[in-house]
Amino acid sequence: MKEKDRRTVETIVYYCDRLNDHIASCDNNKEIYMSNILYKDACALVIIQIGEFVGRLSDEFMDEYDGVEWRQLKGLRNIMAHNYEDIIDHIVWDIIHEDIPEIKEYLEDILEE
């Protein structure tokens, strides 16, 4: 793996951890998420950052490590950044709880290689 890709993957994992910190600070409570705009904004910013760094991964990396829908993740970043008013909160909640942990685990496994 190229060093630039390694650093980028490490940064994405860092942001996954940041997302977990936000979740923990609100007791992983969906009702709080749905009613608290600051919580939603904080999570959205982290998802945007993850997508931004996905955009920095080389095509070779994304081809070799195809266990993540890289382009969809980058697309999610674009939606969160440019069409925020169209975000469906319960879908973002599911992404935070289902997709992001899987991505983090996948990337941590790559880093251990």
Q: Which residue has the higher pLDDT, 69 or 78?
A: 69
* Contact predicate 14/6, CB 8 Å: no
Task: Kindly report, residue by residue over 5-32, the tens digit of the pLDDT.
Answer: 999 999 999 999 999 999 998 889 999 9
Dihedrals phi, psi of 7, to nearest 5 degrees = -65, -40
- % of the chain beyond a pLDDT of 70: 97
Lowest mean pLDDT among 3-7, 11-15, 63-67, 90-94: 90-94
33 burial (CB, 10 Å; 0-12 / 13-18 / 19+) is buried
- List of domains in the chain: 3-112 (1.20.120)
pLDDT at 89: 86
Lowest mean pLDDT among 1-10, 26-35, 102-111: 26-35
* Contact predicate 103/16, CB 8 Å: yes
Distance CA 53, CA 8 (A): 6
Distance CA 39, CA 21 (A): 11
* Contact predicate 95/44, CB 8 Å: no
- pTM of the predicted protein model: 0.90
pLDDT at 62: 96
Q: What are the structure tokens assigned to 29, written together?
A: 């409570």
Those residues with Cβ within 8 angstroms of residue 48's Cβ, 6 or more apart along the chain or in another chain? 77, 80, 81
